[in-house]
Amino acid sequence: MANQLLEIVFLISGIKIAAMTNTTARPSVPDPEDAGCFITVAICTRNRAALLVKAIRSVLPQLTPDTELLVVDNASTDDTLQVCEQLAGETYAVAYLLEPRLGLSVARNTSLSKARGRYVLFLDDDAMAEAGWLAAYRSFLLNPPAPGIAVVGGAVIPFYDQPPPPWITPRDTLFDYGSQPLRLAGGGLSGCNSAYCREKVIAVGLFEEKLGYQGSSLIPREETELQDRLIKAGWDCWWLPGAAVQHFVATERFNIRSMANSAFNSGRAAAIHRLKIATSVRRRLALRMGRLFAAPFHIVINLLPALFLFSLGRQKPAVRALCRVTRAAGWAWQLLKPLAE
């Protein structure tokens, strides 16, 4: 049936496999009395089997009786399933779930609906948890510094397959708010290292599925958008030191075209978010008219310095100016797109 959720669970080499044909139904809130599992570590993956092995192996030694590891396969066409089967021969701690609908936000929502834990701790398939990572989350969530915490996240340390170009430094991709726990006024925790309270996230409507990776395309800010909604609903967002992950950063991300494309999609994401929170037709129209009027000026005043800086060989500020150009273009393109459809 087209709108019915079908789940087939069977055992393959010690892995629980779930094939899902439709995950559009709103998941039910978990029973608070079913407290056997406190944290579910969720790794959403697509066609990154080699990196996935490293991510899983970084978590396995850290699992405790009240934690679990769930791999959500977002329609991979490589040997992701075989990798999980192999790991199942070593441990029964890996649960595998197939989500056939493309989209990282879709896979994360599936994790939230199917995880047994009260909290779902997301780790990217191209990241590795450092020692003490899960213990830091567990200690923080068992003894929270304040009531009403909906999301908490830690540091992201980049590592590269090859040295990046000289105009990129590790600090450009380092995510770290410091050595003390901190309550954040707005969202912004990294999606590859953050834990969410299932009940609270389900209550505010899960991840926005228009945002995030969808196959090879990316419209970012899905984590920030959800975190902002949680804060607006009255819940807290916290920074957790001592819970770091290492995140693989491919060298190809550091060519000018890739960075400009990323900035363009960031502009699209910002437009989607602003349109979503505009509460009336009048406000959405005002947003469109204002941004579309300003976009040519933003583009020109950043494009001219970008060209000048490139001519001087100052690539780092030139690329940043160019990214401001493409971000403004992404804003405008997304605002015009609904009018053309």
Alpha helices in 237-314 (DSSP H): 256-277, 281-311
In this predicted model, what pLDDT tens digit does every residue of 149-198 receive, in sequence order? 999 999 999 888 877 777 776 666 788 989 999 999 988 899 999 999 99
Q: Is the pTM of this model over 0.85?
A: no
Which residues touch 100 (CB under 8 Å, ≥6 apart)? 19, 20, 21, 75
CATH of segment(s) 7-253: 3.90.550.10
Asked if 326 and 261 count as a contact pair (C-beta separation under 8 A), the reply is yes
- pLDDT for 269: 73
pLDDT band at residue 8 using 50, 70 and 90 as cut-offs: very low
Is residue 4 over pLDDT 80?
no
Q: Is the pLDDT of residue 26 over 60?
A: no
Rounded distance, CA 74 to CA 215, Å? 9
Q: Which whole number is the average pLDDT over 296-310?
A: 90
Question: Bigger pLDDT: 127 or 21?
Answer: 127
Residues in a beta bridge with 101: none
Tokens representing 312?
């001087």
Instruction: State percent of the chain over pLDDT 90.
Output: 48
Per-residue pLDDT band at 337 (split at 50, 70, 90): confident
Per-residue pLDDT at 222: 86
* pLDDT value of position 171: 66
| pLDDT at residue 20, as a whole number | 32
Weakest mean pLDDT among 83-87, 126-130, 144-148: 83-87
Given pLDDT bands bounded at 50, 70 and 90, which one contains residue 23?
Answer: very low
107 three-state secondary structure: helix
Question: DSSP label at 127?
Answer: E
Q: How confident is the model at residue 277 (pLDDT cuts 50, 70, 90)?
A: confident
Confidence grade of residue 3 (pLDDT, cut at 50, 70, 90)? very low
Q: If pLDDT is split at 50, 70 and 90, which confidence band does 71 have?
A: very high
Cα–Cα distance for residue pair 170/120, rounded to 1 Å:
28
Residue-level pLDDT at 86: 87
Q: pLDDT for 29-55, tens place per residue?
A: 333 334 579 999 999 999 999 999 999
Average the pLDDT over 191-213 and give the result.
Answer: 92
CB 36 within 8 A of CB 43: no
Look at the block and give the residue holding tokens 């290292």. Answer: 193
225 or 43: whose pLDDT is higher? Answer: 43
CB-side exposure of 154: number of CA atoms within 13 Å? 27
**Count of residues in the chain:** 341
φ and ψ at 152, to 5 degrees?
Answer: -145, 145
Round the CA-based radius of gyration of the chain to a whole number and report it: 21
pLDDT surpasses 80 at 201: yes
Does the pLDDT of residue 273 top 80, yes or no? no
β strands within 186-267, DSSP E: 193-197, 212-214, 217-219, 236-239, 245-249
Q: What is the pLDDT of residue 216?
A: 66
CA distance 229 to 311: 43
- Amino acid identity, position 119: Y
- Report how far residue 324's alpha carbon sits from residue 277's, in angstroms, rounded to the nearest whole number: 23
